Amino acid sequence: MTTALKPWARASASFASTGKAEERPEAPRHLALKRALCAGATAFVTINIWTGCPLLALWVGSQVSDSRILSMAAVGVVVVVLAILLLVMVLALAWLNNVYDELVGRPHAERRDTWLRSMRAEAEGHVSQRVGITMLERIIMVNVYVAMIGLAIWWVFFAGSWMVSA
């Protein structure tokens, strides 16, 4: 009779069989703490993608401009800084997702864009259908929903008189 082992139990079983010191099992409470820290870091990074990065890029652009008149140099600095910050945040999200996948024991699968997949490979199924959506993916989805709803509320109620023609 085989029973499904939890990740820390599998690690202890492999530790008992191999005797290697680097494969010591982690306590479940440390695993839960690491997962919670990954989820919190994901929420922080995701919120900063649509709030902190644009604000920081605008601040850096305002420091470049020496007058109150908008210059193309300031606009260029804002665009470049925003692109760099967003690239860093997206790479951080990818890294956090990989760390979280390792913590929960999610199988590592090659993630390929739809248009790059072979038509014959469609029978394998998608990763999300086989292993489900992780907590980090749910956090990112909720952040996108909150951002879009906030944008819609701002546009309708606080953006000014956009319906009045001049």
In a domain, 16, yes or no: no
Q: What is the pLDDT of residue 76?
A: 95
Residues of the chain short of pLDDT 70, as ranges, are 1-29, 108-115, 117-132, 161-166
Residue 164 is assigned to a structural domain of this protein: no
Residue 11 lies in a domain: no
Query: What tens digit of pLDDT does each residue of 76-107 get?
Result: 999 999 999 999 999 999 999 888 888 888 77
Look at residue 22 and tell me if it is in a domain. Answer: no
Decide: 47 and 143 in contact? Cβ < 8 Å.
yes
Q: Return the pLDDT at 15.
A: 43
Structural domain contains residue 165: no
> Which residue in the block uniquely carries the two structure tokens 């989820």?
39
Is 122 a domain residue?
no
Q: Are 49 and 89 in contact (CB under 8 A)?
A: yes
Tokens 């109620």, residue located: 157
Q: Which amino acid is at 132?
A: G
pLDDT for position 113: 67
Domain of 149 in residue numbering reads as: 28-105+133-154
How far apart CA 28 and CA 165 sit, in angstroms, is: 62
Best CA proximity match to 59, nearest among 78, 42, 33, 40: 78
Q: How many domains does the chain have?
A: 1
